[in-house]
Amino acid sequence: MAPSILAADFAHLADEVRLVEQEADWLHIDVMDNHFVPNLTIGLPVVQSLRPITQLPFDVHLMIDEPRRWAPAYADAGAYNVTFHVEACDNPVALAKDLRAAGAKAGLAIDRDTPIEPYLELLPSFDTLLVMTIKAGFGGQRFLPALLEKVRLARTARESGHLELRIEVDGGIADDTIEQAAQAGADAFVAGTAVYGADDPAAAIRRLRALAASGVVGH
Binding residue positions for substrate: 4, 61, 137-140, 170-172, 192-193
* Residue choice 67, 92, 137, 215 for contact with ligand DX5 (CB under 6 A): 137
170 is catalytic: yes
Q: Report in angstroms how near the CB of residue 111 gets to Zn ion at its nearest.
A: 11
SS3 for 181? Answer: helix
Residue 170 sits in the site that holds ligand DX5 (CB under 6 A): yes
Half-sphere exposure of 15 (CA within 13 A, CB side): 4
Residue 2 contact partner, candidates ligand DX5, Zn ion, none, CB within 5 to 8 A by sort of partner = none
199 is catalytic: no
* Residue choice 67, 72, 92, 172 for contact with ligand DX5 (CB under 6 A): 172
- Whole-angstrom distance, CA of residue 184 vs CA of residue 196: 25
Amino acid at 169: V
Neighbours of 54 (CB within 10 A): 15
CA dihedral 104, 148, 164, 117 (to 10 degrees): -90
For Zn ion, the closer of residues 127 and 170 by Cβ is 170
Annotated binding site for a divalent metal cation: 28, 30, 61, 170
For residues 54-113, which are near ligand DX5 according to CB under 6 A? 61
Pairing of strands 27-32, 2-3: unpaired
Residue 114 sits in the site that holds ligand DX5 (CB under 6 A): no
Amino acid at 152: R
Q: Which stretch binds ligand DX5 (CB under 6 A): 68-76, 86-94, 131-139, 203-211?
A: 131-139
Is 101 exposed, middle or buried, given 0-12, 13-18 or 19+ CB atoms closer than 10 A?
exposed
Q: Which residues are catalytically annotated?
A: 30, 170
**Which parts of this chain interact with ligand DX5 (CB under 6 A)?**
4, 6-7, 28, 30, 61, 134, 136-141, 170-173, 190-194
